Amino acid sequence: MIKRGQIIELDIEDLAFGGKGIARINTENGAYVLFVQNTFPGQRVRAQIKKKRKKHAECSLIKVLKRSPQEELSSYQEISGAPYIHVPPKIQEEQKQKVTLEVYRRLAGLQNIDELFDEFIPSPEHYHYRNKMEYSFSCIEHDLETDEDIDDAFALGFKHRGTWWKVESLNKASGLFDEKWEVFLKEFRLFLEKTGLPAWHPPRKEGFFRHIVVRKSFYEDKLLINLVTSSQGISDFNLQKVADFLKEKMGDRIAGFQHTINDNVADRAKIENGDCTLAFGKDHVTEELNGLLFEISMESFFQTNPKSAERLYNKALDYVFEGNRSLEGKVVMDLFCGTGTIGQLLTQRTEDTKIIGVDIVEDAIKDAKRNAERNNIDGVEFYAADVGKFLKAYPDYAGKIDTIVLDPPRAGIAPKTLLKVIQLGAERIVYISCNPSTQARDIKTLEEYGYQTKKVSLVDQFPHTSHIEAIALFEK
């Protein structure tokens, strides 16, 4: 019988939601199922047993030993964040649709999901679609050619799958982000290495270079660069020299270059936070969505695939207005509104509608207010608050809200908050989710309290990953 920690070779036969490949083995107690994250049917893989249950085990992928016959080797460097880079996009999309609809059937109890399913909306671009990328430095490098670790290295790229300390240097474009920048990254790494200052040592929590965060505006075709370092050895660091090198090599593609000193060693600390100096340019970029302009600073949330986000928002608004409804004189709530994009886009389709946006992040609300002003939008009010607390503090909204747009984070809506949302008694709810499994759980509750699921669409915001965005329409 298999044991936890054991390393095993498996043939992946099928796919489950969340990028979990399914393998089966025979044991003395009968057939046994093993799920291996980030794998694809047809692959032979080496995996490690992480969690063992009576009838199944969860494994982590160590290495793909044989590619699936459905894969076509792409010229991009495979990174842990894009396990399906070699699977043709059309096949990725078919698989995503199949496994996601199964989640609604199984977890939400929607046996008629095939009838409710409206459409699968692919990403307009399958490559170079991301508008933000975070690269890590480490002096422990995982060498992709030899599959061995190198200490005292100067690696810059992405974490080796399943580790937080080893980095695989990016030597060519990943296919996800700006190609010109990623081709340049190797040259930038060699330049930074020559400063003599060390890359971060994650286990020892010492070193100088920690991360590079890059934001891209497709509208301006510009990049905002944030170099994050510690303060260890800062007196030997010449920021101007780095700025000059960036200017020389990337020219006016760089909107701004900032240097952040972050000495916080907590693993989950937000890496962009810390003392920030703007070396040149500006500290934000501007993106366009459906004709409206949004200023995005380094820290604020913005949909990662803006071209696909336009399709997502259009579909969500189609659901809000479906059946030629008029929202004139009505109140709409945009809960978990981030920088307020949905509420602002909604005003393009209606007049004299009051929109209330709520998000817990104060900076996002500040951005939302500033962007609404810049786009000359009236009738939208934004509040920085926890949605649950906000609804508790304003019980008078109950019975007065016509439509609610919900777009919670991956973890979904806290059960108590969902009940408060239901108590508002809105006629219609449009629920956007980046995690259909938590959405499916919430659908069960919504249906129990009298909301009927009318339609579900899927939007592929994240090609080459297992992630998918869903939009569901509910009516009372």
Known binding residues: 303, 336, 359, 407
Which listed residue (320, 387, 401, 471) binds ligand SAM by CB under 6 A?
A: 387
- Does residue 384 bind ligand SAM (CB under 6 A)? no
Q: How near is the Cβ of 86 to ligand SAM at its closest, in Å? A: 29
Binding-site residues for S-adenosyl-L-methionine: 303, 336, 359, 407
Q: How near is the Cβ of 407 to ligand SAM at its closest, in Å? A: 4
Question: How many other C-beta atoms can be found within 10 angstroms of the C-beta atom of residue 261?
Answer: 17
Nearest-angstrom CA–CA distance, 23 and 323: 45
> Which residue lies nearer to ligand SAM by CB, 243 or 358?
358
Only one of the segments 13-21, 199-207, 332-340, 442-450 lies at the binding site for ligand SAM (rule: CB under 6 A); that segment is: 332-340
Distances (CA, A) of 326 to 193, 323, 330, 397, 471: 60, 9, 9, 20, 21
Nearest-angstrom CA–CA distance, 411 and 419: 16
Which listed residue (303, 344, 403, 466) binds ligand SAM by CB under 6 A?
A: 303
Question: Both ends of the chain: CA-CA distance in Å?
Answer: 51
Which listed residue (337, 418, 426, 429) binds ligand SAM by CB under 6 A?
A: 337
- Residue closest to 242 by CA, chosen among 287, 162, 188: 188
Q: How near is the Cβ of 385 to ligand SAM at its closest, in Å? A: 7
- CA 257, 360, 353, 457 dihedral sign is positive
Which entry of 59, 139, 337, 434 is annotated as an active-site residue? 434
Only one of the segments 123-131, 255-263, 372-380, 403-411 lies at the binding site for ligand SAM (rule: CB under 6 A); that segment is: 403-411
Q: Is 312 helix (H, G, I), strand (E, B) or coil?
A: helix
The site that binds ligand SAM (CB under 6 A) totals a number of residues, namely: 19
Nearest-angstrom CA–CA distance, 432 and 316: 7
- Answer whether 299's CB lies under 8 Å from 234's CB: no
Distances (CA, A) of 316 to 417, 434, 452: 21, 13, 17
Tell me whether residue 434 is one of the annotated catalytic residues. yes
Residue nearest to ligand SAM (CB): 338
Which listed residue (165, 245, 301, 394) binds ligand SAM by CB under 6 A?
A: 301
Q: Which of residues 415-474 bind ligand SAM (CB under 6 A)?
A: 434
Nearest-angstrom CA–CA distance, 304 and 463: 12
> Which residue lies nearer to ligand SAM by CB, 334 or 402?
334
Only one of the segments 98-106, 129-137, 393-401, 407-415 lies at the binding site for ligand SAM (rule: CB under 6 A); that segment is: 407-415
> Which residue lies nearer to ligand SAM by CB, 47 or 377?
377
- Does residue 338 bind ligand SAM (CB under 6 A)? yes
Nearest-angstrom CA–CA distance, 471 and 435: 10
Q: How near is the Cβ of 325 to ligand SAM at its closest, in Å? A: 21
- Answer whether 309's CB lies under 8 Å from 315's CB: no
**Backbone Cα Rg of the chain:** 24
Nearest-angstrom CA–CA distance, 285 and 110: 42
Q: Which residues make up the interface to ligand SAM (CB under 6 A)?
A: 301, 303, 336-339, 341-342, 358-361, 364, 386-387, 407-409, 434
Active site residues: 434
